Structures are given as structure tokens and as C-alpha cells.
Amino acid sequence: MELYTYHRSVAAQRVRIALNLKGVAYESRFVDLSTQREEQNHPRFRELNPQGLAPVLVDEGVVITQSLAIIEYLDERIRVRPLLPEAPLARARVRSLAQLFAADMQPLTNLRVFDYLQETMGCDEAALDAWYEHWTMEGLEAAETLLSRSGEADGFCFGDQPTLADVCMVPQVHDATLRGYDLSGFPVLRGVYGNCMTLASFQAAAPETQPDAVAQRRPVAV
């Protein structure tokens, strides 16, 4: 398998975690989505993904885009350490929390949105930072409430093993931590995040451990 990835991409981090949990060996293809736009706009990469975004997984010559589609493909193909429960209602609950992070939070704070806010809407750096913090904290507040109400967090979001919800939660909390946001009001999230980060699969997927990790003007979640 080949994974087109960028170290600061929250979406790519999700896929790296899933690949690690599944014990899948893969080759990384690094695409700089921050400063070297010619990489994401290169015709060969655009042929793989017309959106010019990471992650992209290539398996047996077949291209899969979108992090959740990639992760569910991996989960269906490689049954070790399943990331979704068997019961339909339980699967829906895990997917619901996962999509809070992947479909609601992250799209509002990706680089394309920041570029539009800055270049078209005229937002300055302070406004961009306020935007990022607002949507991040609002999403984490909702996740904390849902986890507290469910009472299912037993080391991880749902039970005592990582699920798709943990795979999607960790990159968002990690990003908020790197930005220095005050997470003291999220004890359940912090506890689950801490447990996840004791596992090598999560540690090895962290952005700062990736070979393409370089100093950035500002962290972004792509």
C-alpha cells in the first residue's frame, strides 16, 4: 500500500493511526500541502485526487480518497483489531462521534478555508486564530458532553479498545494541545486521549514524528 500524506494533515493522521492499529506496512509518499503548492497541484497528484488533498491510499493499483472511506476499507479488508462494533446501533454511535470530528470540526479548520478567509475575505492572522479556536473548542465541548452522557468511555471512547471514534478524536485533540488551547474543561476527552497516546500505533502517527515534519508558520489541519 502507498499512502500520500502530509505530516500536519489531521485527515492523514487518522489514516496513519488506522494503518498502524491494523499492523499494515505501507510506503509514505509525502505531499507538502502548506508551502510547496506545486506538489499538490502537480498533474500526477491531481490525477490521483482531483481535489489535490491528502490522504490518498493506493492499494493494488486502486486509488481511494477521503480518510473515513480509507479507514472503513481497511477495517473491512483487515479484520484484526476491528474499529467498528458488530451491533448496528453500536456502529452508528461510533460513526456518529467519529463524524463529529471528521465531518464537522476538521473541514472548518483546513487550509483551503484559511486561504479563502485570508485571501478573499481579508481576515488577518488574529481573525484566523480566533476562527480556528472557536470551531475547535465548540466541537470538543460537544464531544465531551456526548462522552460524559454515554458513560461508555472505559479507557477509550467506547469501551476498552480503540474504535473509529478514537482514531478521529486523537488528531483533533493533539492539534488543540499543540496550539496551547485550554482543555481543562474536558476531563473525559483528556483521559481517553492520554490512554490512546500510550499506544505505539497512535504515537507513531503523530505529526511531529513524521519524516516530512518541518517547522511551519502556523499549524494547519488539512
Q: Is the model's pLDDT at 188 over the cut of 70?
A: yes
Beta bridge partners of 38: none
State the virtual CA torsion across 116, 67, 150, 148 in degrees, nearest 10: -50
pLDDT score, position 36: 60
User: Measuring CA to CA, which residue among 131, 129, 124, 136 is closest to residue 100?
Assistant: 136
Give the tens place of pLDDT for each residue, 78-137.
Answer: 999 999 999 999 999 999 999 999 999 999 998 889 989 999 999 999 999 999 999 999
130-149 average pLDDT score: 97
Q: Is the model's pLDDT at 217 over the cut of 70?
A: no
Rg over alpha carbons for the chain, rounded to the nearest Å, is 17
Q: Is the model's pLDDT at 218 over the cut of 60?
A: no
Q: Identify the band that residue 42 occupies on the pLDDT scale cut at 50, 70 and 90.
A: confident
d(CA 14, CA 171): 7
pLDDT score, position 219: 43
What stretch of H or E contains 74?
Answer: helix 67-77
Q: Is the model's pLDDT at 35 over the cut of 80?
A: no
Provide the residue ranges of all domains of the chain, joining segments of one domain with +.
2-81, 88-203
Other Cβ atoms less than 10 A from the Cβ of 125: the count is 10
Q: Is the model's pLDDT at 221 over the cut of 80?
A: no
Average pLDDT along the chain: 93
Q: Is the model's pLDDT at 39 over the cut of 90?
A: no
What CATH fold (topology level) applies to the domain 88-203?
A: Glutathione S-transferase Yfyf (Class Pi); Chain A, domain 2 (1.20.1050)
Burial class (CB in 10 A: 0-12, 13-18, 19+), 78: middle
User: Measuring CA to CA, which residue among 29, 79, 74 is closest to residue 49?
Assistant: 29
pLDDT score, position 214: 55
d(CA 65, CA 57): 6
Q: Is the model's pLDDT at 222 over the cut of 80?
A: no
Give the tens place of pLDDT for each residue, 45-89.
Answer: 999 999 999 999 999 999 999 999 999 999 999 999 999 999 999
Cα distance from N-terminal residue to C-terminal residue, the chain? 22
Long-range contacts of 86-90 (CB under 8 A, 24+ apart): 90/158
User: CATH number for the 2-81 domain, one of 3.30.465.10, 1.25.40.10, 2.40.40.20, 3.40.30.10?
Assistant: 3.40.30.10
Q: Is the model's pLDDT at 215 over the cut of 80?
A: no
pTM for this predicted structure: 0.93
